[in-house]
Amino acid sequence: MSLALLPSMSRSRLISAERLAVLAGGTAAPWAFERMDAPPPAIAEEESPPPEPPIDIEALLAEARAQAYADGHAAGTAEAREEADAALRALTEGQLQEQAQRFAAMLDAAREGLDAAQQDIARGTLDIACALARQVLRQELATHPELLEPVVREAIDLLVADGRSVRVVLSPDDHAWLAGALEQEFASRGLSVVAERGMLPGDCRLESAGAVVDGGIAPRWARAVASLGLTVPWEAPATADARDAGQQEPDRDAA
C-alpha cells in the first residue's frame, strides 16, 4: 500500500492511499514515477497542408481566350447593334422625308388639278351661259325686230353728223319693217336703206364715203363674250359655211 504526504499536516503523520481515496470521494490511482533516464517523449509533428495543384497554363490560356472572345463578341455585337440602329434611323428618316416630299408633290398636283377643274367648271358654266344667251337673243331678234332700231339709229347719227350720205344694209326681214321709217326720217340727209340676202336678222351695215360700220350681230356678240375671256362664235362654223354656200351672190334690193 502506497502512502502520500499532505503538506498541511505533520510530516510524521502518514495517510494511506485508501484513506485519501475515501476522503476524496473516490478511488485513488497509484502514482507511477517515470524513470529519470527514460528518453523524452516524441513530439507529434504538425501536419503540413497539402501541396497546391500545379498551374495549368494551357487551361489559363484557354480561359483567357474564351473571356477575350466573349468580351470581343459582346463589344462587336453592341457596335453592330449601334450601327444597325443608326442605319435603321437613317433609312427611316430618309423614307419619311421621301414620303413627305412625295405627299407634298401629291398635294401640289391635287391643288393644281383642283384649280384646273375649277377653271374648267367656270369655263363650262360661261359657255353654257353664253349658249343660252345666244339662243335667247336669236329668239328676241326673230320675234322683236324693233330691238335693232336703236342700234341703227345710233350708227346713223354718227355718220350723218358729218353731212355725208349714208347707205344702210339690212336683212330682208328687217328691211321690210324698218326701211320706210328710216328713209322718211332721214330723207333730207341722203339716207338709203337696202336689203341683202346674206344679212341675218339683227345685222346691219352702214356705208358712207368709203367708211364701213359693221353693226352685225356676230361682231357685237364677239365683243361681248371677249369681255368674259371667251371666244364663242355667234354661229357654228358649219352653219356659217352652209349659209354662205347657199348664197353665191348676195342680192341687194333697193327699198
- As averages over each run of 10 residues, the pLDDT of the chain (255 residues) reads 46 60 57 61 64 72 78 77 80 80 84 82 74 71 73 78 80 87 81 87 83 78 78 66 54 45
Please tell me the predicted confidence (pLDDT) of residue 80. Answer: 80
- How many CB atoms within 10 Å of residue 183? 14
What gap in Å lies between CA 103 and CA 248, rounded to an integer?
A: 63
Cβ–Cβ under 8 Å, residues 219 and 225: no
> What CATH code is assigned to 146-254?
3.30.2320.30
Amino acid at site 107: L
Among candidate residues 216, 217, 209, 215, the one with its CA nearest the CA of residue 161 = 209
What gap in Å lies between CA 208 and CA 215, rounded to an integer?
A: 14
What gap in Å lies between CA 177 and CA 146, rounded to an integer?
A: 9
CA distances from 145 to 88, 149, 220 (A): 82, 8, 16
Please tell me the predicted confidence (pLDDT) of residue 195. Answer: 92
Whether the predicted model's global pTM rises above the 0.85 cut: no
What gap in Å lies between CA 220 and CA 234, rounded to an integer?
A: 9
What's the residue count for the chain? 255
What gap in Å lies between CA 160 and CA 189, rounded to an integer?
A: 7
